[in-house]
Amino acid sequence: MNDSTFVFYIIFNLFFAVIISPFFMSLIKKVKAYCQGRKGPQLFQTYYNLMKLMKKEVVYSSTSSNIMRITPYINIVVILLSSICVPLVFIPQSSGSGFGNIILFLYLLALAKFFMALSGLDAGSTFGSMGSSREMTISAVFEPVIIIVFAALAFVMNTADIYRMFTNSVNSSMPFLNPIKFLNSISLFIILIVETSRCPVDNPETHLELTMIHEAMLLENTGKNLALMELSHAIKQTLLMALLINLIIPYGLITTLTFTGVILGAFSFFVKASIVSVIVGVLESSIAKSRLFRLPILFMMVFFFSFLTILFEVFLK
């Protein structure tokens, strides 16, 4: 496959991710509201919020430096880049300069996190610093889990390239029946929960409480900066959902580029991601946020799940 397809892939994947991501944010909110017996916001509320924020005034703290000013841009660019790593609708055949490298994807997310944590410290506010401290703690403890999950996947599929992993899934008839992939899908789901700061790790609903992590870092962001940060958070969530979906239920994901295929693929991804969002929303409503220092126990659980997959593969090979 030639370069022009890859360029089309980049542009398509990027815009698709940007356009659909905010929807899942409001969908999860809506589901949670239903669970709590409320009506909840409209399904397009996140889009309105983002547009409103773009027009709002930007306020910077007098103690903050350029880190605060550049972080939203770094964040959005890095997340857009990482969206190229995860094909949502169709898989380009060229290796694409190694864009599919799983480590590249994870470390791009880490780069965004690094700057977000710095911006949390920048204003000198105790809330922001607390958020940064906790975020870095969680990501540090969680990193081995993520790596082991992907190492297990790489081990099973014999590649460290996301594109090839997806192709592998597309070519196998029932990937979710494969015990190793099934075990890994649990881990991938927990990764989705942890990385998008949801219960039981973090509570996205709370503001100005000592429980918050991710929101605390964004506290000093205003106006369009906040819009960029929220948009990148939404895209990140979509990408992590896509990892789970396209590995386990890759139906609709296409490998050759056709017009109808793209439309159908986009539609099926949308449906599958909506289902995952509903599950996330229901799960979030049914469990409480756990204590920060109890999180390592949860992480250890995920860790053993993925290590189990490796053991499974090693001894059954």
Region 244-303 residues binding another protein, contact defined as CB under 8 A: 292-293, 296, 303
Residue 164 within binding range of another protein, rule CB under 8 A: no
Site stretch for another protein (CB under 8 A), options 165-173, 219-227, 237-245, 278-286: 219-227
Residue 176 within binding range of another protein, rule CB under 8 A: no
Which C-beta is closer to another protein: that of 51 or that of 177? 51
Tokens of 300: 């250890």
C-beta of 250: minimal distance to another protein in Å? 21
- Interacting positions 7-36 with another protein (CB under 8 A): 10, 14
Site stretch for another protein (CB under 8 A), options 31-39, 121-129, 192-200, 281-289: 121-129
User: Dmax over Cα atoms in the chain, in whole Å?
Assistant: 61
Tokens of 69: 């000013």
How many residues line the site for another protein (CB under 8 A)?
85
3-state secondary structure of 90: strand
Which C-beta is closer to another protein: that of 11 or that of 177? 11
Residue whose C-alpha is closest to residue 93's, from 8, 198, 192: 8
Which C-beta is closer to another protein: that of 119 or that of 169? 119
Which C-beta is closer to another protein: that of 118 or that of 190? 118
Distance CA 82, CA 112 (A): 10
Residue 61 within binding range of another protein, rule CB under 8 A: yes
Tokens of 104: 């590249």
Distance CA 97, CA 274 (A): 31
CB 281 within 8 A of CB 31: yes
Candidate residues 2, 55, 173, 174; the one interacting with another protein per rule CB under 8 A: 55
Residue whose C-alpha is closest to residue 150's, from 28, 317, 303, 21: 303
CA distances from 9 to 19, 22, 144, 223 (A): 15, 21, 31, 31
- Interacting positions 140-159 with another protein (CB under 8 A): 140-148, 150-151, 154-155, 158
Residue whose C-alpha is closest to residue 191's, from 157, 251, 147, 136: 147
CB 220 within 8 A of CB 128: yes
C-beta of 293: minimal distance to another protein in Å? 6
Residue 214 within binding range of another protein, rule CB under 8 A: no
In this structure, what are the phi and psi dihedrals at residue 245, rounded to the nearest 5 degrees?
-65, -50
Which C-beta is closer to another protein: that of 136 or that of 264? 136
Site stretch for another protein (CB under 8 A), options 20-28, 58-66, 257-265, 273-281: 58-66
Which residues fall within 8 angstroms of residue 146, CB to CB, at 6 or more apart? 106, 191
C-beta of 135: minimal distance to another protein in Å? 9
Q: What is the 3-state secondary structure (H, E, C) of 247-271?
A: HHCCCCCECCCCHHHHHHHHHHHHH
Residue 308 within binding range of another protein, rule CB under 8 A: no
Residue 97 within binding range of another protein, rule CB under 8 A: yes
Residue 227 within binding range of another protein, rule CB under 8 A: yes
Candidate residues 186, 261, 310, 312; the one interacting with another protein per rule CB under 8 A: 310
Candidate residues 45, 49, 139, 211; the one interacting with another protein per rule CB under 8 A: 139
Tokens of 86: 């995860």
C-beta of 74: minimal distance to another protein in Å? 8
- Interacting positions 184-213 with another protein (CB under 8 A): 208
